[in-house]
Chain A
Amino acid sequence: MSSKLLGERIKRKEDPRLIQGRSHYVDDIQLCGMLYLAFVRSPHAHAEIKAIHSEAAQKMPGVLAVYTGADLEGRLGLIPCAAGMEGLKVPPHPCLALRRVRYVGEPVAVVVASGRYQAVDAAAQVEVDYEPLPAITDLDKAVSSDSPVIHESLGDNIAFVAKLEGGDWKAVESDASLKVIRQRLVNQRLAPLSMETRGVVASYSPGEDTLTVWSSTQIPHLLKTQLAVMTGMDEARVRVIAPEVGGAFGSKLNVYAEEGVACFVSRQFGKPVKWIESRRENLMATIHGRDQIDDLEIYFRPDGKVMGLKCHILANLGAYHQLLTPAIPTLTALMILGCYNIPAVFVETKGVFTNTMSTDAYRGAGRPEATYIIERVMDMVARELNLDPVEVRLKNFPPPGKDIVLATGVSYDTANYQKTLKKVLTLSGYKKLRREQARLRKKGKYLGIGLSTYVEICAMGPSSRMPAGGWESGTVRVEPTGKVTVLSGTSPHGQGEETSFAQIVAEELGVPYDDVTVYHGDTNQVPMGIGTFGSRTTAVGGTAIYHAAQRIKKKMARLAAVKLGAKPSELVFRDGKIETEDGSKSVKFGEVVGEAYFAKQLPPGLAPGLVENYVFEPPNYTYPFGAHVAVVEIDNETGEVNLRNYFAVDDCGRILNPMLVDGQIHGGLAQGIGQALWEEHVYDENGQLLTGTLMDCAAPRAHQFCWFETANTETRTPVNPLGVKGVGEAGTIGSTPAIVNAVMDALRPLGVRHIDMPLKPEKIWQVLRGGSPQVV
């Protein structure tokens, strides 16, 4: 049996339990004596709370208590924000609103009852008197000096202003030969929409004085620390378990009010407490993504070389900071030059409070916004100069190489943007498509071909540049029977690392894949780690495990060397054996394991047992890249867009399991295309959420997509020994601009430069009939 596992298409270890309905998501956890929570939420975007009448609710059957913000004040800590940037204004963010509500859906009170239905019934009976205040949802208005202020103690609605500058702006601005385009791009608000909503079970045992929390989270370890701080408990007595998590996309990379309240209530009653978010709550009160206005100035030469990019970003933060809220738009600034060598850059980012739910990390988190900006820039320049967008991109790519430093100061690990572009042009039959387009245009039909050549920042990241640590931990333990247990500090929830981590360890140790079991998500079981987000799990967490496996190998090789009379460095691990390269001297893996545990003849200085831990601190981020081509057809009467073809060539570094990589790319594409064409999460001018159910908030369905044609190039990163860059967000980042570029390309004969997303048919129809696109 060959143990060649890495790079193979291997079926997932996770699946048998999931396809049989035998796994456990948080709502599947049933504990004896469970209490249920239901939250009373504000219907107002901005209002003073005058009074809360909970007497009727308290008298309802099964109701044990009703708590308000005032009841929790001083007894339960505030919701934390980990982003620590200079001059950042951080408003207090209590778990239940105090005196004032600032967004629709903000929790105002909580009902504790012995049944799920009873809790909901009673919550409906809590009456709150509000004195409405003017709501602010418009970013331009929110930053104006006469705007009402959302947090009065902060003076205005601007949470921070961050600047990023590089290159010689004087030269750019004084160069009269340069052309200039000024354009505003709106990157609309989205709902992350994991299929499983949030949920938490908190169980406090008064006897042991321990708190166990099951939460649908991406960050069990960080959550544990924060819940200890919020509840005032000894952190060593708090345990957080991320059970099966039904999707997250960044939305569960957070510490939420309901988690804090559930812990508080469980401690009050000494009983387990459950709260499961309804979809309506999920749309109101789970973080949203994107929501930026980007005002651009693009300076470029007549040959298509872009010389300078200025961008003023207004980032809608929502009413409060959640865990990473203000950090997200700063990633936009960092990645705004994409994969182009543009000599001068200036970005000013204003983070703005509004009467809406907080924005925070949603798949891509700041980088899709950057990629959208720069990829639209390339197409707008091409259009202005009547050049092929391929030509403009080639003109602006840096040459292939390593450690490429751009004007933003970002240093890209490895790059070969020409290679992926070339490959996608071949894959898509680009030249042929252009000929088809020309033919159809003569017939008055609109076919659009859109390109996107993106680079993203992944494998988050060096701790020096992360809000709460960027390292990751891994433990490999060879059990006495020779089976292998892997513990990861990351917390995957669908990405499939139980499989890819087992591949790494089985490959390294030369043991059967089926003999390796991976655990994660339980803070009492696995070593402290950071979590799963930022396309980091395999690149950072997998590397930690890889190193831990190396340590095991080193130890086992020393044991085997004694047995075989060989040097440890001569030995290889394969096919369940430890042997010399030529196979002449060989010992069974299990035999060496026995040596380690029975510890009869250990070489001096070697401790018994086979457990190794490793904490990996990445020296840099990784920078995966890719090139996408989208082909769309537009109904020239109604403006409906039909996605005809999609081609994606992605380079996520070394591929450990191509099936998993494809899955990540496909899912990412669907979300990115969704943003371009259908998705938007909309507040009206009074701060009412208009897309409050899935009847109005569109999530794309199977029949809306074409077949995705995908391919890869593999440019390994030197940042980690696996050569892995990360792939979780690539599809989302690359696809949004490809689609918008395709639609704008289709409409090119009509002379329109830009339409904001989502590209709903009505906006396109308005262009088709000769108008300018209106916001609808």
Chain B
Amino acid sequence: MIPEPFEYHSPQSLEEALRLVTEFGEEGKMMAGGHSLLPMMKLRLASPRHVIDLGRLSELRYIRESDGWIEIGALTTHFQIESSSLLREKCPLLPETAREIGDAQVRNLGTLGGSLAHADPAADWPAAILALDAEIRANSAGGERWIAAQDFFVGLMTTALAPGEILTAVRLPPLPRRAGDTYLKLRQPASGFAVVGVGVRLALNEAAHIERVAIGVTGIGPKAYRAAAVERELLGKPPTARRLAEAAARAADGVQTNSDLFASAEYRKHLASVYVRRALELALERANP
């Protein structure tokens, strides 16, 4: 299969990219690795007139720590995240999520920003960044703004990015003391996408009660979400096995649940609760020194 013809633009700076994005508007499509976009273009389900390849914006390819945040450039590949020693130490959830994405080849080219902006309902990153209370930086000709992860995913493959905006970075707090995080996933055997994917970060207080917990869930609904009902049940409580299980049972509360060939809505709801509980247990184990 072969894409329809298009014009290709390869901006060398963010400034140039922003100009192109504004210029082409609806007719332009940004590409940041291309592993979501190109298959769609080859099947001719997507046929943008202009492809704006952000791949050469090396300024957006970094992982660094400053001012109490870990910041990751949007063009950082899944593999760079997977293999980052900084992240392994300060935010193991991210490398753990990265290694679950697609396959080795996809992880070499696919990028964090590309995946987030695409907002596939079964992608892995959304669950991870929701669990990390991350913020997403959007740049436009008018400047920049930070969008909380919770506000970023608007609907099926739809984000809070406005026309003319480019997702440039993600920042998140490193793992605090007495905290643990993890990402667990059931893969769809054909596509490798998440039937369910759960990211959890959990922190305990001095009394070993749950001080903070954030749970991101993907694969279940039209967009990734925070399992707020579960979090509410757990906050401030001692994390007994029974409490975790009872809370996790609410993992898909209020979510319009996907149904496909592999898993019905009902089964997905069940998977969400099982995987949320297991992820909580694992994160707890890691939080307990």
A–B direct touch in complex (beta carbons closer than 8 A) = yes
Which residues of the partner chain A approach B270 to less than 8 Å between Cβ atoms?
638, 765
Cβ distance B224 to chain A, nearest Cβ, rounded Å: 19
Contact with A along B216-238 (1 / 0, CB 8 A): 00000000000000000000000
Number of A-B pairs, beta carbon distance below 8 Å: 57
On whether A682 and B190 interact (CB within 8 A), knowing A121-B4, A280-B43, A765-B267, the answer reads: no
Q: Are A637 and B190 in contact (CB under 8 A)?
A: no
CA distance A762 to B44 in the complex (A): 33
Residue of B nearest to A690 (CB): B261
Which residues of the partner chain A approach B263 to less than 8 Å between Cβ atoms?
760-762, 776
Contact with B along A95-136 (1 / 0, CB 8 A): 000000000000000000000110011001000000000000
CA distance A700 to B189 in the complex (A): 8
Residue of B nearest to A758 (CB): B189
Which residues of the partner chain A approach B2 to less than 8 Å between Cβ atoms?
116-117, 120-121
Which residues of the partner chain A approach B186 to less than 8 Å between Cβ atoms?
638, 640, 761
398-449 of chain A: CB within 8 A of chain B: none
Contact with B along A587-628 (1 / 0, CB 8 A): 000000000000000000000000000000000000000000
Size bracket, chain B contacts: 20 to 34
**Selected contact of B261 from candidates A279, A696, A700, CB within 8 Å:** A696
On whether A697 and B1 interact (CB within 8 A), knowing A280-B43, A765-B270, A776-B267, the answer reads: no
Cβ distance A188 to chain B, nearest Cβ, rounded Å: 12
Which residues of the partner chain A approach B5 to less than 8 Å between Cβ atoms?
121
Which residues of the partner chain A approach B262 to less than 8 Å between Cβ atoms?
760, 762, 776
Q: Are A698 and B264 in contact (CB under 8 A)?
A: no
Which residues of the partner chain B approach A678 to less than 8 Å between Cβ atoms?
189-190
Tell me which of B44, B193, B267 has the highest count of chain A C-beta atoms within 10 A of its own C-beta. B267
Q: Are B191 and A695 in contact (CB under 8 A)?
A: yes
Q: Are A638 and B274 in contact (CB under 8 A)?
A: yes
Q: Are B189 and A638 in contact (CB under 8 A)?
A: no
B271 at the interface (CB under 8 A from A): yes
On whether A124 and B1 interact (CB within 8 A), knowing A637-B274, A638-B274, the answer reads: no
Contact with B along A247-286 (1 / 0, CB 8 A): 0000000000000000000000000000000111000000
Q: Are A704 and B189 in contact (CB under 8 A)?
A: yes
Which residues of the partner chain B approach A697 to less than 8 Å between Cβ atoms?
190
Cβ distance A38 to chain B, nearest Cβ, rounded Å: 9
Cβ distance A425 to chain B, nearest Cβ, rounded Å: 31
Contact with B along A566-582 (1 / 0, CB 8 A): 00000000000000000
Which residues of the partner chain B approach A761 to less than 8 Å between Cβ atoms?
186, 263, 267
Which residues of the partner chain A approach B43 to less than 8 Å between Cβ atoms?
280, 693
Q: Are B267 and A280 in contact (CB under 8 A)?
A: no
Cβ distance A275 to chain B, nearest Cβ, rounded Å: 14
Q: Are B189 and A698 in contact (CB under 8 A)?
A: yes
Tell me which of A638, A693, A694, A698 has the highest count of chain B C-beta atoms within 10 A of its own C-beta. A638
A485 at the interface (CB under 8 A from B): no
69-85 of chain A: CB within 8 A of chain B: none
Q: Are B1 and A280 in contact (CB under 8 A)?
A: yes
A90 at the interface (CB under 8 A from B): no
261-280 of chain B: CB within 8 A of chain A: 261-264, 267, 270-271, 274
Which residues of the partner chain B approach A120 to less than 8 Å between Cβ atoms?
1-2
Which residues of the partner chain B approach A638 to less than 8 Å between Cβ atoms?
186, 270-271, 274
On whether A762 and B267 interact (CB within 8 A), knowing A280-B1, A690-B261, the answer reads: yes
Residue of B nearest to A699 (CB): B190
Which residues of the partner chain A approach B193 to less than 8 Å between Cβ atoms?
695
Residue of A nearest to B266 (CB): A762
Q: Looking at chain B's contact residues, is the secondary structure mostly helix, strand, loop, or mixed?
A: loop
A691 at the interface (CB under 8 A from B): yes
Which residues of the partner chain B approach A278 to less than 8 Å between Cβ atoms?
1
Cβ distance A111 to chain B, nearest Cβ, rounded Å: 13
Residue of B nearest to A700 (CB): B189
Residue of A nearest to B4 (CB): A121
Which residues of the partner chain A approach B39 to less than 8 Å between Cβ atoms?
695
Cβ distance B12 to chain A, nearest Cβ, rounded Å: 28
Residue of B nearest to A124 (CB): B44
CA distance A618 to B262 in the complex (A): 46
Cβ distance B48 to chain A, nearest Cβ, rounded Å: 16
Which residues of the partner chain B approach A280 to less than 8 Å between Cβ atoms?
1, 43
CA distance A765 to B191 in the complex (A): 21
Which residues of the partner chain A approach B261 to less than 8 Å between Cβ atoms?
682, 690-691, 696, 776
Cβ distance B18 to chain A, nearest Cβ, rounded Å: 32
Q: Are B190 and A698 in contact (CB under 8 A)?
A: yes
Q: Are A694 and B267 in contact (CB under 8 A)?
A: no
CA distance A116 to B2 in the complex (A): 9
Contact with B along A676-697 (1 / 0, CB 8 A): 0010001000000011011111
Cβ distance B212 to chain A, nearest Cβ, rounded Å: 27
Contact with B along A343-380 (1 / 0, CB 8 A): 00000000000000000000000000000000000000
CA distance A697 to B190 in the complex (A): 6
Q: Are A696 and B264 in contact (CB under 8 A)?
A: no
152-179 of chain B: CB within 8 A of chain A: none
CA distance A693 to B42 in the complex (A): 12
CA distance A107 to B2 in the complex (A): 19
CA distance A414 to B270 in the complex (A): 52
Q: Are B190 and A696 in contact (CB under 8 A)?
A: yes
Contact with B along A619-649 (1 / 0, CB 8 A): 0000000000000000001101000000000
**Selected contact of B191 from candidates A124, A696, A700, A762, CB within 8 Å:** A696
On whether A762 and B189 interact (CB within 8 A), knowing A120-B1, A280-B1, the answer reads: no
CA distance A124 to B193 in the complex (A): 30
Give the top 4 A-B pairs by smallest Cβ distance, nearest first. Answer: A698-B190, A695-B191, A762-B267, A698-B189
Pairs A–B under 8 Å by Cβ, sample size 21: A116-B2, A117-B2, A121-B2, A121-B4, A279-B1, A637-B274, A638-B270, A638-B271, A691-B261, A694-B191, A695-B190, A695-B191, A695-B193, A696-B191, A697-B190, A699-B190, A762-B264, A765-B270, A776-B262, A776-B264, A776-B267
Q: Which residues of B contact A (CB under 8 A)?
A: 1-2, 4-5, 39, 43-44, 186, 189-191, 193, 261-264, 267, 270-271, 274
Q: Which residues of A contact B (CB under 8 A)?
A: 116-117, 120-121, 124, 278-280, 637-638, 640, 678, 682, 690-691, 693-700, 704, 760-762, 765, 776
**New A-B pairs, 16, CB < 8 Å, besides A695-B191, A696-B191, A776-B261:** A120-B2, A638-B186, A638-B271, A682-B261, A694-B190, A694-B191, A695-B190, A695-B193, A698-B189, A700-B189, A704-B189, A760-B263, A762-B264, A765-B267, A765-B270, A776-B264
